[in-house]
Structure 1
């Protein structure tokens, strides 16, 4: 082989070696969140009511100190498709919050107990206060976070996702972040106020580890045991499910309507096909006897 040919072969071999090594290194530096199993996944998935109630408990006792839920009203918790708290529970829950209302007759804003129609009050009065309390970082609102957060799975996975209807990147990512806090590897530098997280972009996250095993007490069953393990793994799954519901509270109704529409379209397509076949059969017979 000539010298130029050898150079070309060598360059192609080097490029192949680099392309084979680079994805491995990238995967080691930034692993994808593990794909989890969720009750609401797939075209017929539904929410686990007990899990939604546990997830709300985790949000209220842990996450609500920093993260708002500004697009959700108290009464949404009792609506079909959600945690399905009773109206009495929702009314009592809303009354535990102080909501800004007004102006009154004197032109002043005032505080009053919440009502079922009120939305959850914000965690901070404004963005500047939120940043000041969190070292300059702005805690995101939880209302739509499960739909806003995602990650790139790359080729060929996105092709498979189109056929399997995989749409749970958001809760997978949230679950991975909450369980991804670890000690940084040797030589990895963190700035003051930063924490190492295996799945966060760049591995540097401002939020400290928010929850630990046994931090939230779950309701007890008839046997006196908690209805679910009180672990970070379970907490993260429950609050991620609750956040999916908050982002799409009518998901179950949407899936049911989608199924009905698909059945209607199949029946309609069949009727159109047989109608067309019947009409053209008559025309073909008339033409044959002409």
Structure 2
């Protein structure tokens, strides 16, 4: 009887945890999510290098004017597991940016072209300047956004995610947000300077204007130049920026699982050999 009571209490705790993990927004407006196929999904997933390079191009041409990438260094663009730019290409990209350095011999700060060791500079000198340029809204930094803005899926989805290895809610949300600009429902009044977005996690209205338009960015590899493709490419790039060592982590995880399986087998056979002649 006591065992049964403990099992019921444990089940109740799990259900309560799932309810607590459900986004507060679910009690009001439920956002619309569009789940995409990603090359980096699953235990053996890897980044698509061509997609990362296209995503960086979308970021550079459409997003960099407002959104920073402060935790990413230019050298990361040429490192293993990333977009796989050559070192010369990464140097050329860095040279397009101006960073503040110093002090010099006279104690003054000075500007210079960025080098590989530098991180992407912020498009604004401070938060106040960023808000002043964006009608009071503060554009978030892109470095960790694919992890920081991943919607919680709640119970029982988070249980299923353990078995399906679903970890792509961040890029799925970014894609959904970028494609979520629609006409507001009849009778819904959109505040001045805001836009209606059916997938915005913080509510229905967003200060960011629709950033993507078909054929606004040129792809030279034959990839369709559509809003959907732009959104998917930049979401993949943001996932890499948030988790640049994803491939190494998955490789290490696979090695650990193989080791544990082999180790468990060795323990089993060792136990049988040691105790096979002992009466139980």
**TM interval, short-chain normalised:** 0.7 to 0.9
Specify the alignment match of 2:95 in structure 1. Answer: 95
1:29 is displaced (CA, Å) by 4.3
Cα–Cα, structure 1 residues 161 and 32, in superposed 2: closer, same or farther, change >3 Å?
farther
Specify the alignment match of 1:276 in structure 2. Answer: 271
- Please show how residues 66-145 of structure 1 align to structure 2 within 5 Å: 66-145=66-145
Paired with 1:117 and 1:195, the residues of 2 have a C-alpha distance of 38
Please, which runs of 5 or more residues in structure 1 have no aligned partner? 1-25, 221-226
Specify the alignment match of 2:44 in structure 1. Answer: 44
- Please show how residues 151-190 of structure 1 align to structure 2 within 5 Å: 151-190=151-190
Deviates more, 1:155-164 or 1:239-248: 155-164
Runs of 4+ in 1 over 4 A off after TM superposition: 26-29
The number of residue pairs the alignment matches comes to 254
Please, which runs of 5 or more residues in structure 2 have no aligned partner? 1-25
Q: Contact 1:32/1:153 (CA < 8 Å) preserved in 2?
A: no
Q: Which has the larger radius of gyration?
A: 1
Specify the alignment match of 1:234 in structure 2. Answer: 229
Q: What do residues 176-227 of structure 1 show as CA deviations (whole Å, max 9, x unaligned)? A: 000010111111112111100011132100111111111111124xxxxxx2
Decide which structure has greater helix share: 1
Q: Contact 2:32/2:198 (CA < 8 Å) preserved in 1?
A: no
Q: Contact 1:55/1:235 (CA < 8 Å) preserved in 2?
A: yes
For the pair 1:255 / 2:250, whether they are aligned, the reply is: yes
Query: Tell me, what secondary structure is at the counterpart of 1:100?
Result: strand
Paired with 1:40 and 1:212, the residues of 2 have a C-alpha distance of 26
Query: Tell me, what secondary structure is at the counterpart of 2:118?
Result: coil
Paired with 2:153 and 2:28, the residues of 1 have a C-alpha distance of 14
Paired with 1:154 and 1:95, the residues of 2 have a C-alpha distance of 45
